[in-house]
Amino acid sequence: MSEVTVTLPDGSELSVPEGSSVEDVAYEIGPGLGADTVAGVVNGELVDKVDPVADGDRVVIVTDQSDEYLQVLRHSAAHVFAQALQRLFPEAKLTIGPPTDDGFYYDVTEVDLDESDLDEIESEMESILDADYAIERVERSREAALDLYADNEYKRDILNTEAADEDTVSFYVQDDWQDLCQGPHVDSTGEIGAVKLLNISASYWRGDEENDTLTRVYGTAFGSESALEEFLDMREEAKERDHRKLGQEMDLFSIDETTGPGLPLYHPAGKTVLRELSEFAGRLNREAGYEEVETPHLFRTELWKKSGHYDNYVDDMFLLDVNDEEYGLKPMNCPGHATIFDQSNWSYRDFPVRYFENGKVYRKEQRGELSGLSRVWSFTIDDGHLFVRPDQIRAEIEQVIELIFEVVETLGLDVEVALATRPEKSVGSDEIWEQAESQLRDVLDSGGYEYDIEDGDGAFYGPKIDFGFEDALGRVWDGPTVQLDFNMPERFDLSYTGEDNEEHRPVMIHRALYGSYERFFMVLIEHFDGNFPTWLAPEQVRILPISDDQLGYAHRVKNELGDHRIEVDDRDWTIGRKIRAGHDDRVPYMLVVGGNEAEAGTVSVRDRFENEANDVDPEAFRDHLDEEIAERTIEPDFLAE
C-alpha cells in the first residue's frame, strides 16, 4: 500500500497509509491522542477528524485541550440551537450558522422571533444537551441534498455554489434532525456544557444588502457553567466599557446617519486624543528616518488597476464618474507612495527610502457590518512605506517591529503576533511568495517571538506580520502590521541604479504602528475604560474652587501650571458635586482650592483613584505634571510618590 507523508507541528514528518484520516494520523502518533481526537487543522483549515490527509499536508490534532476546541464546540451549539428552533417553530427556514470568536450565530427566516422567545428556545436547547444525542457525519449525494432542500433556496444556493463541483456533501445528524454542514463537530450534544442565547438582529443573505433580510440569533457555548458565567460577567463589563457608550458620555465622537453610515465625526475631546497619538507616532517616525508625505483622497482608477487594487478591492471601493473618467476613493495609501517614489531617480546609496502619512482611506463595508469605530467606511491609517534594497529587508523589518513595541509598551498593552501567508486572491509568483514568507519567518524566529500562522490571511500583494492588541478584558483586536511586498514594485516598474550601474528592483515594505486610528482609538477607550493616561486625556487637570471667592486664585493656579489642558470648574455647584463630576468625566487630576489654600498659596490634589494630598505647592505639582506628560506615564502617579 502506498503512503503519504504529513508534517506535524514540531516540524517532524510522519508517513501513513494513503487514504488515512486525521484521526488515523493521531493514532499513529499515539493511542491516547487518537482516542482524544476531536478534529484536525490541515494546512490551516479546521476539518473533521474523519477527513483524509494528503501528501505534504501540515497536520495539527485538535483535542478538548486545543485552542480550536471551543470553535468546534460552538459550531455544534449552533446546530443545537437550530434543532431547538425547529422543534418549537417547525416553519423556520435555516440558512447558515457558523461559530464566532464569542460564540455562534444562526441566520433564519420565515419565523417571527423577538427577544422574548430566547428563553424558551434556550430551555429546549438544554433538553437537547441533557439527551446527549450522538452527532454523526453522513455523506449524501449532491443531488439527494438538492431534493432534500427543495423548499429551501438558501441551502440550494450553497449546494449550487460552494458545492457545485462536489459529487457528495456532508450532513451532521443528531437524533431526528440534520443539517448540511462541513463540520467539524463534537461527538455528542452532551459535550456542550453550557449554552446561552444573547440577542437577535437583522442580517442579509450572503451579507449583501441587495439580498433577502434574515433574522440572526446570537448565542454562545462553553464546556462548563463556570466558564459561561465568567464570560457573561466579562460581557457585562465590556458593555460598560463599550466605546460607543463612553464616546457619547465623554463627548469624544459621534456617527450620525444624516452624514452617512460609518463616517465618524470627532468632537474636540476626541480630536485631542487623536492629535496626541498622531504627534507620538510622528515623533517615532521622524526619529526613525521617515519623511512625511501626503496623497489625495481619490485617484483615477487607472492607478488602482496598475497596483492590483481594482481587481482585488473593487467591490469595496467607492467609485465616481468624473467627466466620463472613473475615479476611486483610495482604499489604501501605497499606490500614491509608490508613485511619489517613481518621480525620482534613485541610487543604491539613497536607500532605504522611508515615507509616512496619516492617510485617510475609504472602504465600502456592508452596512450591517459597520460597528462604532471598529468597522467604518472612512478611517485613517498611520501608514508607512519603505523602499529598500534586498539586503536591507531584515534590518528594516526589525526596526519596524521595535517601533511597534515602543507603542505597545508606552500604552501598557500586550500583543499577539501572527504570520499571515498567501491568500487565495493574490498577485505574484509562487517563488516570490515563498521568498517573502521565508524572510518574515526568519525575522520572527531570530527575534525569539512567539507567533501563530494565519494561513491565507496575507495581503493580496504579500505576506505580513500582524500584531493583535490585547485589552484589559483579554480581547484581541487587529492592530499594527508589517508587510513584505515584491509585487507592487514590479507592477509600478520601480527601479534604482545599483553599485554595478545596472537597474535593480527595490522591495517595498508596508507598515502601520497603530493599524488605523479609528480602531486603535476604540481599543484605548475600552482598554482604559475612558481613563486615559494623563498625556492623552482630553482634560488633564480640573481646578475646583470651593466658592466664587476663590475663582481668581483658581485661574492664577491654572496660569502657573503652564501649557497643559486645564479647566477651572466655575459652575455654581457644591464642591462635592464638582468632585463627583470630575470623577465621572475621568479627569486624571483635580485641584481643590478653598480659602485656606488661597491664603497659603497651595492646592489640595485629588486623582481619579480618590487619593488625595493637602497643602501641595503648585510649582511642585507642575514639575511632576510636566514630567508625567513628557514620559507618557500610563497612570497618574503624583500621589503614588
State the residue for C-alpha cell 459561561.
Answer: 228
> For 376-380, which contacts have Cβ atoms below 8 Å and span 24 or more sequence positions?
376/255, 376/262, 376/263, 376/264, 376/518, 377/260, 377/261, 377/262, 377/263, 377/318, 378/262, 378/263, 378/264, 379/516, 379/517, 379/518, 379/519, 380/516, 380/517, 380/518
Peptide linkage before 331 cis (omega within 30 of 0): no
Compute the half-sphere exposure of residue 189: CA atoms within 13 Å on the CB side of its CA.
25
Backbone phi, then psi, for 536, in 5-degree steps?
-100, -20
Query: What distance in Å separates the CA atoms of residue 102 and residue 54, rounded to the nearest whole number?
Result: 32
Q: How many residues does the chain have?
A: 641
The grid coordinates listed for 426 are 493574490
How far is residue 41 from each of residues 14, 60, 97, 107, 437, measured CA to CA in Å? 15, 5, 20, 26, 20
Pairing type for strands 353-362 and 291-292 reads parallel
Compute the half-sphere exposure of residue 119: CA atoms within 13 Å on the CB side of its CA.
1
Query: What distance in Å separates the CA atoms of residue 442 and residue 86, rounded to the nearest whole number?
Result: 52
The grid coordinates listed for 151 are 423548499
Query: What distance in Å separates the CA atoms of residue 157 and residue 612, rounded to the nearest whole number?
Result: 66
Pairing type for strands 612-616 and 603-607 reads antiparallel
Question: Is 334 labelled a binding residue?
Answer: yes
State the residue for C-alpha cell 512625511.
Answer: 292
Question: Is 510 labelled a binding residue?
Answer: yes
Nearest to 468 by CA among 516, 416, 406: 416
- CB of 200 within 8 A of CB of 118? yes
Query: What distance in Å separates the CA atoms of residue 208 and residue 474, rounded to the nearest whole number?
Result: 32
Peptide linkage before 352 cis (omega within 30 of 0): yes
State the residue for C-alpha cell 480659602.
Answer: 595
Query: What distance in Å separates the CA atoms of residue 190 and residue 171, rounded to the nearest whole number?
Result: 19
Query: What distance in Å separates the CA atoms of residue 92 and residue 110, rounded to the nearest whole number?
Result: 5
> For 238-242, which contacts have Cβ atoms below 8 Å and span 24 or more sequence positions?
238/473, 238/475, 238/526, 240/529, 241/472, 241/473, 241/525, 241/526, 241/529, 241/530, 242/372, 242/526
- CB of 186 within 8 A of CB of 94? no
Query: What distance in Å separates the CA atoms of residue 125 and residue 120, rounded to the nearest whole number?
Result: 9
Q: Mutual orientation of helices 393-410 and 268-287 as an angle, nearest 10°?
A: 140
Beta bridge partners of 215: 108, 202
Q: Summarize the chain as % helix, strand, coil (round to 5).
A: 40, 30, 35
In the three-class reduction of DSSP (H, G, I as helix; E, B as strand; rest coil), residue 115 is classed as: helix
3-state secondary structure 507-548: EEEEEEEEEEHHHHHHHHHHHCCCCCCCCCCCCCEEEEECCH
Annotated binding site: 334, 385, 510
Annotated binding site for Zn(2+): 334, 385, 510
